[in-house]
Amino acid sequence: MRGNLGIRALFMAVLLLLTMGPPVSAAPSPAGGDPLPSWREGPVKRRLLAFVAAVSTQGSRDYVPAAERLAVFDNDGTLWGEQPMYVQLAFALDRARTLVAQRPELAANPVVAAAAAGDVKAVMAQGTQGLLELVALTHGGMSTETFARIVRDWFRSACHPGLHRPYSSLTFAPMGELLELLRSRGFLTVIVSGGGSDFLRVVTEELYGVPPEQVIGSTVRTTYAVEGSVPVLLRHPEVAFIDDGAGKPVGIHTALGRRPIAAFGNSDGDFEMLEWTTAGPGARLGLILHHDDAEREFAYDRNSPFGRLDRALAAAPQRGWTVVSMRNDWERVYRLSASPCSP
Amino acid sequence: MRGNLGIRALFMAVLLLLTMGPPVSAAPSPAGGDPLPSWREGPVKRRLLAFVAAVSTQGSRDYVPAAERLAVFDNDGTLWGEQPMYVQLAFALDRARTLVAQRPELAANPVVAAAAAGDVKAVMAQGTQGLLELVALTHGGMSTETFARIVRDWFRSACHPGLHRPYSSLTFAPMGELLELLRSRGFLTVIVSGGGSDFLRVVTEELYGVPPEQVIGSTVRTTYAVEGSVPVLLRHPEVAFIDDGAGKPVGIHTALGRRPIAAFGNSDGDFEMLEWTTAGPGARLGLILHHDDAEREFAYDRNSPFGRLDRALAAAPQRGWTVVSMRNDWERVYRLSASPCSP
């Protein structure tokens, strides 16, 4: 009897140890398998794994306390695709078409007319001012709750024109694995996007396991009001903050008050975020994803209207930033778990 | 031998169970003791404990998933004292004195002269515009890192004039217990202050266990620059966002993208935060701390220049907000773990 109790207790103790999760100093993959199966073996993958192990293994020369393990990720072109146009721009075009159908006089504005017609080139030809006007019309003039509902509905029905898949299934599998690896090693993984935070927050939890409070993005001017007896937050047709380029370090500081130790981007809009991140003391990681895979995704860099990559690519060797070749370093590109759709 | 091993294994299993922390559905206090010993028994304490248990106990009618358990806390007058003036204003006066000693011509501005002389009444007489000018001078015109160093140094040397204790020891013990209780029950506890986020972030981790990314506050305009080859964030002498009154729901939404389920404040500056929080669906908690304890702290409300409480107190019964009487509901006021100092 006593012996049986002993064995049972021992068994329980072992079971408890197993269910408690790995200690902080364990190897990157808890199960001993490859935590990054969608990444091909090579120097880039080795660099990623070595960095993660170095900063999160107690006793390591480059050890960083968990509270300071902050990693920031650009979204468009880094976590999901941005061709033939930003996902949020596709949303704006669809929204413009809906609004113009309701109020045809809106088409008097050339950028709105171009958007409603789905003519991306004509939209882009209107320049930054035109884009701001389009955002104001399609993203402002409603409460935050109404906007979230419209975005949620759009994601349910929208379909990528070339790839015939819902946008929500077009995230990059290797980056999803990286997010998970970092979180399993105590990192806070924060999205820092030029896109709108209220747009992205509708889907980041489902797509990336990133909750709304870990999303930093561009904003429209927002004010508080009580309508009848119902408090609401009103989105005004006016851009308040552009979280791109030199705005990214500012956005990160305002929201988090810390400098990241790792930054992941794919365009010149991520230059300052990488620069600021990798200029800090201790071990740092800056990574640039180069879209050089015309077969499986798209091949573009310095001449692309979306995700232009020129200055950051040129600076990478001297700055010690890791350049990822999608063609060579990724075994798999898309997560692609959904059925095809028709646009 | 076998018997001894059995007892040791059983002992280990029990030890492991004890060190694993309580399961989510356990009673509020892990050790079975009182999680709020600085709160006196009574309806307020019962209400607090009942709310926490209701939203965090699986199977409860009012159960809220952990990801949505967001509680927001005002700081001045809620987590620490605000009399005879806001702590950050005391910092601004000391800083003005230092700056005027270096550059006497600054005293040509009456608000700066009043601040340098430590004359709070004269400072307040200059109105909002005067205060903004004082903040611009004392909080702007330097990098975020320099500012953090100045604030850190100030907290090390500054001494509350009436209480003869470092400001860092003047936090409210009952509120500290509440923060810890909420976190032990899966809540995210976020500070939402009219004070500056970069000012507070220097001390919130040490004082409240709240890391910088969980602090929302007022900001000055901040830009990114590279000085020589060193990237910096520059604080400009210009207030960008005032996180007070109707600004609080906006600040919360911008930073977190969620509506809290519990809000704690002490003044009319917290009205909209409580209103927005408690207007949401499901179980909600709005709490107002009433400073009515002239013996142990201060007694003030509608006529106070700092922490004016009038509209929120009047609205509390109808809105279902819990009013805490410091005199009656608190067994203990200050944390007060430090030795006296001299101002």
Residue B10, pLDDT score: 43
Q: Which residues of A touch B211 (CB under 8 A)?
A: 67
**Which residues 212-231 of chain A have a CB within 8 Å of chain B?**
212-213, 215, 219, 222-224, 226, 230-231
Task: Answer whether B224 sits within 8 Å of A10, measured CB to CB.
Answer: no
Question: Per-residue pLDDT for A286 more than 60?
Answer: yes
The per-residue pLDDT for range A230-246, each reduced to its tens digit, is 999 999 999 999 999 99
Task: Answer whether B231 sits within 8 Å of A258, measured CB to CB.
Answer: no
Q: How many CA atoms lie within 13 A of A91 on its CB side?
A: 25
**β-bridge partners, B233:** B224
* Residue range A259-276: mean pLDDT, rounded: 98
The per-residue pLDDT for range A114-125, each reduced to its tens digit, is 999 999 999 999
Instruction: State the first-to-last Cα distance of chain A, in angstroms, to the nearest integer.
Output: 69
Q: How many CA atoms lie within 13 A of A272 on its CB side?
A: 22
Question: Per-residue pLDDT for A4 more than 80?
Answer: no
Distance CA B124, CA B341 (A): 27
Question: Per-residue pLDDT for A25 more than 50?
Answer: no
| 3-state secondary structure at position A339 | coil
Q: What sections of chain B are H helices per DSSP?
A: 2-19, 43-56, 87-102, 110-116, 120-125, 127-139, 144-157, 173-184, 197-200, 204-208, 247-256, 271-278, 311-319, 326-329
| Nearest Cα residue in chain B from A222 | B250
Instruction: Give me the residue from B6, B222, B247 closest to A253, CB to CB.
Output: B222
Distances in Å between the alpha carbon of B18 and those of B15, B21, B33, B210? 5, 6, 15, 25
What is the complex's ipTM, to 2 decimals?
0.90
| 3-state secondary structure at position A262 | strand
Residue B5, pLDDT score: 42
Q: Which residues of B touch A272 (CB under 8 A)?
A: 224, 231
Confidence of residue A328 (pLDDT cuts 50, 70, 90): very high
How much of chain A exceeds pLDDT 70, in percent? 91
Confidence of residue A14 (pLDDT cuts 50, 70, 90): very low
- Give the list of residues 6+ apart from residue B266 with CB closer than 8 angstroms, or none: B74, B77, B78, B288, B289, B290, B291, B307, B309
Question: Per-residue pLDDT for A59 more than 60?
Answer: yes
Task: Answer whether B279 sits within 8 Å of A231, measured CB to CB.
Answer: yes
Question: Per-residue pLDDT for A23 more than 70?
Answer: no
Question: Per-residue pLDDT for A24 more than 80?
Answer: no
* Residue range A1-16: mean pLDDT, rounded: 43
Residue A230, pLDDT score: 96
**Nearest-5° angle of CA B186, CA B192, CA B197?**
115
Residue B31, pLDDT score: 57
The per-residue pLDDT for range A186-220, each reduced to its tens digit, is 999 999 999 999 999 999 999 999 999 999 999 99
E strand or H helix at A169: none
* Residue range A243-268: mean pLDDT, rounded: 98
- Residue entry with tokens 């880094």: A78
Structure tokens at A69: 């393990």
The per-residue pLDDT for range A306-325, each reduced to its tens digit, is 999 999 999 999 999 999 99
The per-residue pLDDT for range A69-127, each reduced to its tens digit, is 999 999 999 999 999 999 999 999 999 999 999 999 999 999 999 999 999 999 999 99
Q: Can you point out the beta strands (E) in A144-260? A: 188-196, 215-227, 230-241
Residue A32, pLDDT score: 67
Could you tell me if B214 and B188 are in contact, meaning their C-beta atoms sit under 8 angstroms apart? Answer: yes
Distance CA A219, CA B220 (A): 17
Chosen from A224, A230, A232, A238 to mutate, greatest number of chain B CBs within 10 A? A224
E strand or H helix at B225: strand B215-227
- The pLDDT mean for chain A works out to 91
Domains of chain A: 43-53+62-84+163-329 (3.40.50.1000), 87-157 (no CATH)
Instruction: Give me the residue from A9, A16, A219 closest to B254, CB to CB.
Output: A219
Global pTM value: 0.90
* Residue range A276-284: mean pLDDT, rounded: 97
Structure tokens at A155: 């994601």
Flag residues of chain B having pLDDT under 50.
Answer: 1-28
Confidence of residue A18 (pLDDT cuts 50, 70, 90): very low
Task: Answer whether A211 sits within 8 Å of B13, measured CB to CB.
Answer: no
DSSP-assigned letter for residue B241: E
Distance CA B302, CA B215 (A): 27
Give the residue with greater pLDDT, A23 vs B284.
B284
Could you tell me if B238 and A254 are in contact, meaning their C-beta atoms sit under 8 angstroms apart? Answer: no
Q: Which residues of A touch B272 (CB under 8 A)?
A: 224, 231
Structure tokens at A318: 């001297």
* Per-position DSSP letters for A47-59, written without gaps between them: HHHHHHHHHHSTT
- Residue entry with tokens 């000012």: B199
Residue A31, pLDDT score: 57
